[in-house]
Chains A and B, each alone.
Chain A
Amino acid sequence: MADATSGEPIRLSPKMRLQWEKAQNAHVLLYPEGMVQLNESAAVILALCDGSRTVGAITQELIQRFGGETLAEDVTEFLDVARSHGWIVDA
């Protein structure tokens, strides 16, 4: 679990592009010769990875917006996956 007050701010990898695709009615993540269609929660989380927030700050913000007991765990889990794919990096 990420600590709400420690850790580096994170950002979308400079090698990735996040954009809204009208044709797919979804956000997509674009990278060399590939793309991923994101579900709504993934897109919301990645949009917060703007280089100013830590994992903890992102989680806090999402809890404030959406509430939910298990949310912190889900967010951390998603960000771990995102990091392992190289989608996000330390700012």
Chain B
Amino acid sequence: MPEPSVKGPLWLLAELTYACPLQCPYCSNPLDFTHRHQELDTATWKRVLDEARELGALQLGLSGGEPLVRQDLDEIAAHARGLGYYSNLITSGVGLDAGRVRELKQAGIDHIQLSFQSPEQQLNDYMAGTSAYAHKVDMARAVKSNGFPMVLCFVVYRDNIDQIDRMLELARELEADYVELATVQYYGWAQVNRQRLLPTLEQVRRAELETRAWQERLGSRMKIFFVVPDYYERRPKPCMNGWGSVFLTVTPDGTALPCHAARQLPGFSFPNLREVSVEHAWFHSDGFNRFRGDGWMKEPCRSCDEKDKDFGGCRCQAFQFTGDPANADPVCEKSPLRHLVDEVLQQAVVTSAESPLVFRNPKNSRKIAADAA
């Protein structure tokens, strides 16, 4: 049974599709995305939006994959607007043109978050696996000229973390309202490429200093958020602000998850919204209730006076490193298994910049599946 204190979700992340014209090796989508063809239809997405809104969901992320691939994006966005959601379109910009930006405004999208792989064309296009840089710059201008608030998201990894100044110069030139310097989170494809993507501690500290100087200079004119790689922290992140607390992710095939990486966890059967309501999934499914509150915690979390602050960190990270999602996130220096994170950091330092990246594409997805079989 759910704890009586459980409230409805505030955030709904709708992963409309896993289809994407890009091949970023830091993608957090699952490795087996090609097996998951069955996308929810328009009517079911609308029902999911209705039901989540009824429970109090307010912020809507339209994501993927690349959400622009969905032919019914405008219809879904218009439905969301009618329900009172604040709709955030999270896109690579590939698939946009000036006319589409105007249409999305009319459909009721409130804000567009545009991602860059790098402020430098060559690296951007290499990581994206396609020539996208010049088009992204054009689309950023179209987003602004249509009156959207714009977030530019730079995903940060070893090869571009020394480009912070150029990222922020580009953001200022494009009149971004917010900038996210989002260090790669190592789930899905990013976990496969972790050794190659992890920046060094020196790089991270330098990037933090550069970012702080920009923040002081620009203040609220352009808000800059730097998501530090938690492997270098001493305490874990308050992942998802607590399991089943405010975030609801719905995958393209309708699976309801407490976070977009949770499907990898063993011993779970997460509810599918083709079969059950959002209300049932959120309040009554084992998948959402398992790590609510702190009754599930082991030591050192159970007796820790910070457990209400960080909720024991990330369940997926605990699983990835220790095999048990109920363990403390090993990023925490109180974890007896912290050395597992340090070992990864040490291996990353000696991983050559020449070593190959595994790009996110159907071919590699099938190869990984075949190798695992």
Contacts and interface: CB of A to CB of B under 8 A. Distances in A.
Partners in one complex: yes
Given A14-B147, A17-B110, A23-B55, A32 B88 contact: yes
A33 B113 contact: yes
B220 A85 contact: yes
A35 interface: yes
Given A23-B8, A32-B113, A32-B178, A15 B55 contact: no
B177 A15 contact: yes
A83 to B, nearest CB: 9
B300 interface: no
Contact of A17 (B55, B86, B177): B86
B59 A33 contact: yes
14 contacts: A14-B147, A17-B86, A23-B8, A23-B55, A23-B56, A24-B56, A30-B86, A31-B86, A31-B111, A31-B149, A32-B113, A33-B59, A35-B59, A85-B220
Nearest to A28: B58
A28 B59 CA distance: 11
Contacts of B58: 21, 23, 28, 30, 35
A16 to B, nearest CB: 9
A30 B109 CA distance: 13
Contact of B56 (A21, A85, A86): A21
Closest 9 CB pairs of A and B: A23-B56, A15-B149, A30-B86, A32-B111, A86-B220, A32-B149, A32-B151, A33-B88, A32-B178
A41 interface: no
Interface residues of A, number: 17
A19 B110 CA distance: 14
Contacts of B150: 32
Contacts of A23: 8, 55-56, 58
A47 B86 CA distance: 18
A84 interface: yes
Chain B interface residue number, banded = 20 to 34
Contacts of A33: 59, 61, 88, 111, 113, 151, 178
Interface in B278-298: none
Contacts, number: 47
A19 B56 CA distance: 13
A17 to B, nearest CB: 6
Interface of A: 14-15, 17, 19, 21, 23-24, 28, 30-35, 84-86
Interface string B136-162: 000000000001011100000000000
Interface string B200-224: 0000000000000000000010010
A31 to B, nearest CB: 7
B84 interface: yes
Interface in B82-138: 84, 86, 88, 110-111, 113
A28 B88 CA distance: 16
Nearest to A87: B220
A37 B147 CA distance: 24
Interface in B24-67: 55-56, 58-59, 61
A32 B90 CA distance: 11
Given A31-B149, A35-B10, A86-B220, 11 more contacts: A15-B149, A15-B177, A17-B110, A19-B84, A23-B56, A28-B58, A30-B86, A30-B110, A32-B88, A33-B59, A35-B59
Q: Which of B10, B86, B150 has the most CB of A within 10 A?
A: B86
A80 to B, nearest CB: 12
Interface string B173-193: 000011000000000000000
